[in-house]
A = this chain, B = another copy of it.
Amino acid sequence: MAKRSSLREIAEELGLSVPTVSRALGGYSDIALATRERVADAARRLGYEPNSAGRMLASGKSGYVGLVLPVGERQFVDAYLGAIVAGLSEGLAERDLQLMIAAVAPGHTPLDTIRKLVNARRVDGLVLTRIASEDPRIAFLLDRDLPFVTLGRQRDGMPDHPWLDVDDGAAFDHAIETLAGLGHRHVGLISITDDLTFARRREAATEAAASRLGLRLSRCAAARDDRRARHDGIASILAGKDRPTAILGLVDGIALDVLMIAARIGLSVPAELSVIGFDDISGSAYSAPPLTTFDPDNRQVGRLAAGMMHDLLTARDGAPTQMMCQAQFVSRATHGPAPLLE
C-alpha cells in the first residue's frame, strides 16, 4: 500500500502541472492560496514525501551532514561517540538535516574518505573530531570550500575556521587551583603522546597554572592505546617518597587507571592521593571512590555543532563562527586536602 506517490501523481489527481504542485508545496506566493491548500491536502492524503534523490539532484544539496568516524579506538568509541552522535542527530533532525556516519574503509585514509564524500556530493557539510595540531583534513576542506565544523581545534596560529571546543584549558586550570587551595604543592599530569590538540592544550594549561601558583609538576605520557606503558608511567610517578600528592588524568580513562594503580600499591584516595579526571564517562560515578572529574556534556556539544552547521549551510556569510563550551566540575570523592608528607 501507499506505493510511490510523486509530484506527478498529485498533479494528475488535481489536474495541475508538476511545477505548480512543486511550487505550491514550496509555499510560493505565485500560486493561489486556494491551490496551495488543495495541493497540501492531496499531499497529506497520499502520504507524499518528496523523493530525496530527485530533490538532491535538482537542488544540488544533499541535506546530509557527515560525521567522519575516527578509526579503531575502543576508548574513543565508548566515551565519546555515542553522546556526540546522539546530540548531533537530534540537533540536525530539528533542522531538517540528516546525519551520515562515514567510517574510514579498510585500506583508505581519512582524507580519502573525505575526498570521496565531497566529490560524490554526498554531504553539504562535515563535522570533524579528534583534531590534530595541524590537521590535513582541515586544510583540504578549506581548500575545497566545503562547510565544516570541527569539534576541537588545531594549534594556535593555524588558519581560521568554524570550530566548537570545550574549554579544557579553563577546566585544568580550575583543577590545579582547587588542588592548590587544598594545600597540594606537587601535582602530576598523566597525558598521551598522540598528536591531538586537546592534549597539548590541557598540558599547557596545567603547566601554566602550576607555575603561576608555584606548584611543582611531574608529567608522564604514553601512546593512548598503550595501556602498558601508561601503567608503567603512572606507577613510576607514584613510586618514591617524593611523589606528587595529586594526579590529573588527561581523560577519565587515565584517571581511573591511576585509581586502580593507587589501590594496588596501597595508596589511599583521597587521603594520601587526590585524583581528578576529565569526561565524566559512565564509569566515573562508580569507581572507588567515585571520581572527581569534569563533564563536558558531549551531547549538548553535538547539538550545538548541529546548530553551527545549520548556520553555515544557510547564512553562508560573515566570519567563521567559533564557540567555546565550559565543562562542569563534578566534585566527587577522589580529591581532598594534601596529605602531610615528611
Question: Which residues of A are at the interface with B, using a C-beta cutoff of 8 A?
Answer: 1-2, 5, 47-54, 56-57, 62, 64, 69, 74, 77-83, 85-86, 88-90, 92-94, 98-106, 115-116, 119-122, 143-144, 253, 256, 259-260, 281-289, 299
When A and B form their complex, which 8 residue pairs have the shortest distance between CB atoms, in order from nearest?
Answer: A283-B283, A288-B288, A82-B82, A49-B119, A53-B56, A81-B82, A89-B103, A53-B57
Q: Which residues of B contact A121 (CB under 8 A)?
A: 51-53
**Taking the full assembly, how many copies of this chain does it contain?**
2
How close is A18's CB to chain B, nearest CB, in angstroms?
A: 15
Say whether, besides A5-B119, A62-B53, A101-B99, A85 and B81 are in contact (CB < 8 Å): yes
A105 and B120: CB pair below 8 A?
no
How far, in whole Å, are A88 and B144 apart by their CA atoms in the complex? 29
Q: Which residues of B contact A80 (CB under 8 A)?
A: 82
* Apart from A77-B82, A79-B82: 4 A-B pairs, beta carbons within 8 A: A51-B57, A69-B89, A256-B286, A283-B283
A49 and B260: CB pair below 8 A?
no
Give 24 A-B contacts (CB < 8 Å), ordered by A residue: A1-B144, A47-B115, A50-B120, A52-B120, A53-B53, A53-B56, A56-B56, A77-B86, A78-B82, A78-B281, A80-B82, A85-B85, A90-B103, A93-B103, A93-B105, A94-B106, A98-B102, A99-B100, A99-B102, A253-B282, A256-B286, A282-B282, A287-B288, A288-B288
